[in-house]
Amino acid sequence: MAAGSTGNCGKAAAGDFIWQILVLNGNPSRPRHARCLYLACAGKQIAGIEVETRHAVPGDAPCLAHLMTELGYPTSIEEMAARMAALTGRADHAVFVMVHEAVAAGMVAVSASPSLFSNEPQGAIITLVVSSRFRGRGIGALLVERGENWLRENGVGYVTVKPSSHREDAHRLYARLGYEHSGLRFSKSLT
């Protein structure tokens, strides 16, 4: 990848944002920094835009780091790349990214695990985030659907999600999609 190239993120055109990796001395494994460009890909049409959902790949780390930061969890490109590497090859996790014009419009991460209270594996939506530029277009619902399909394909019959109490938009989305408020979440830091 040459300095100033966009790598897996796509070609620049007017409209939406995209991450551009600027490499140091032509070595793509050592990015100097990333920046958000504005530009304008193909797939399913939703709310007037074309979208495509696919498995996340290592080249998506800058875009996914941006999405996590937007969600309120500041994440560097290096941190996201390490998190994605830790999930590589695991059959019990999947990360999907929805792209529009080569731009990451949102992502969903799901997991399946054995359970002591059920014979079927239990599923969880670990992360769901839609870029603020794409909210209100049904992308969150499509991402949840894609995650649920993967869970079904992996033998999961029940899925949970634990959105933070302040994410009222997410609560409404999950209720619209048939999720029921079934409990309370307690959290504790172990560090």
Residue 58 has pLDDT above 70, yes or no: yes
pTM comes to 0.73
Question: Exposed, middle or buried by CB within 10 Å (0-12, 13-18, 19+), for 133?
Answer: middle
- 113-168 pLDDT, tens digit per residue, is 998 988 999 999 999 999 988 888 889 999 999 999 999 999 999 999 988 888 88
Q: Which pLDDT does position 179 carry in this prediction?
A: 92
- How far is 140 from 98, CA to CA, in rounded Å? 10
**Can you tell me the mean pLDDT for 177-186?**
87
Domain 41-176 CATH (choose: 3.40.630.30, 3.30.420.10, 3.40.50.720, 3.40.50.300): 3.40.630.30
- 65-87 pLDDT, tens digit per residue, is 999 999 999 999 999 999 999 99
C-beta of residue 43 within 8 angstroms of C-beta of residue 105: no
